[in-house]
C-alpha cells in the first residue's frame, strides 16, 4: 500500500472529522469517541477507550486500528496520549465476561471510561461510538456503523484500546508461557486450541467461550 503524503493524510483526517465538526457546530465542546478491542478472543480482557481530541491539534494517520500495522499503531498510540485533550482506558476481565456476557462487559468498560474522565473533570458532553447502543452514561450517544473508519475520535479510541490490550496480552504471555498469547492475543487460532487441550485453561481464559473444551 503506497504511503500517503502529508496533504493526503490531512485530507483524510478532515474527512473523518465530519461527525466531530457537526457536534462542535451544535455547541458540544468535549466530544468523546469510544471503541473497544478484544470482544472475540478466547482469553484476556475486553478493553475500551474513550478519547476526546483537541479540535486544534490534528493527529495524522488515524484509522481503524485493524487497518494499521503494529508499528504505526504504536506510533499513533504515543501521539494520541500526548496530543489528545483527554482519554481513559478501562478493561473488563474474563470473570466479568463469563458472569454477564461479552457485550455487557464491553459496555461496562465503556461506561467506566466515561466515569474516569468525569473524575478527572474532563467529562465528554456527547459520545460517538462504534455501532454499540450504550445507555447509562447520562449523555447523548451517536452510534456509527464502522465508526472507527469514519470518525477520528473513534479511530483514536480504537488504537488506544487495541494497543493497550496487545501490551496486556504480551505480559500474560510471560505469566502463562506456552499458549502464544503474545502472538495471537488470545484469539482462537489452531495453535491456541492445541495449547488449551494440552495444558488446560489459564485464569485468563473465558470459560463461557470454551465450553466445548471443558
> Cα–Cα distance between 149 and 66 in angstroms, integer?
10
DSSP code for 165: H
> Of the CATH numbers 3.40.50.2300, 3.40.640.10, 3.40.720.10, 3.30.420.10, which one belongs to the domain with range 6-213?
3.30.420.10
pLDDT tens readout for residues 165-204: 999 999 999 999 999 999 999 999 999 999 999 999 999 9
Q: For residue 129, what is the enclosing H or E element?
A: strand 126-129
* C-alpha 191: how far from chain center: 25
* Residue 141 β-bridge partners: 127
For the chain, what are the domain ranges? 6-213
Residue 211 has pLDDT above 80, yes or no: no
Can you read off the three cell numbers belonging to residue 205? Answer: 481464559
- Residue 141: phi and psi, rounded to 5, are -120, 130
Location of C-alpha cell 485533550: 85
pLDDT tens readout for residues 83-107: 999 999 999 999 999 999 999 999 9
pLDDT tens readout for residues 27-61: 999 999 999 999 999 999 999 999 999 999 999 99
> Cα–Cα distance between 108 and 102 in angstroms, integer?
10
Amino acid at each position: 500500500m503506497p504511503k500517503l503524503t502529508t496533504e493526503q493524510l490531512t485530507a483524510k483526517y478532515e474527512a473523518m472529522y465530519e461527525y466531530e465538526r457537526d457536534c462542535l457546530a451544535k455547541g458540544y465542546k468535549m466530544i468523546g469517541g469510544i471503541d473497544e478491542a478484544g470482544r472475540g478472543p478466547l482469553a484476556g480482557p475486553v478493553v475500551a477507550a474513550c478519547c476526546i481530541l483537541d479540535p486544534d491539534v490534528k493527529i495524522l494517520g488515524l484509522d481503524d486500528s485493524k487497518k494499521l500495522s503494529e508499528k504505526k499503531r504504536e506510533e499513533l498510540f504515543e501521539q494520541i496520549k500526548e496530543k489528545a485533550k483527554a482519554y481513559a482506558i478501562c478493561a473488563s476481565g474474563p470473570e466479568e465476561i463469563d458472569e454477564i456476557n461479552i457485550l455487557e462487559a464491553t459496555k461496562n468498560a465503556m461506561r467506566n471510561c466515561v466515569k474516569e474522565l468525569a473524575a478527572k473533570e474532563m467529562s465528554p458532553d456527547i459520545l460517538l461510538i462504534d455501532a454499540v447502543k450504550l445507555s447509562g452514561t447520562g449523555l447523548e450517544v451517536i452510534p456509527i456503523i464502522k465508526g472507527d473508519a469514519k470518525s477520528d475520535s473513534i479511530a483514536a479510541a480504537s488504537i488506544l484500546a487495541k494497543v493497550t490490550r496487545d501490551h496486556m496480552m504480551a505480559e500474560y504471555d510471560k505469566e502463562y508461557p506456552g499458549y502464544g498469547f503474545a502472538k495471537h492475543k488470545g484469539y482462537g487460532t489452531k495453535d491456541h486450541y492445541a495449547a488449551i487441550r494440552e495444558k488446560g485453561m489459564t485464569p485468563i481464559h473465558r470459560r463461557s467461550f470454551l465450553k466445548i473444551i471443558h
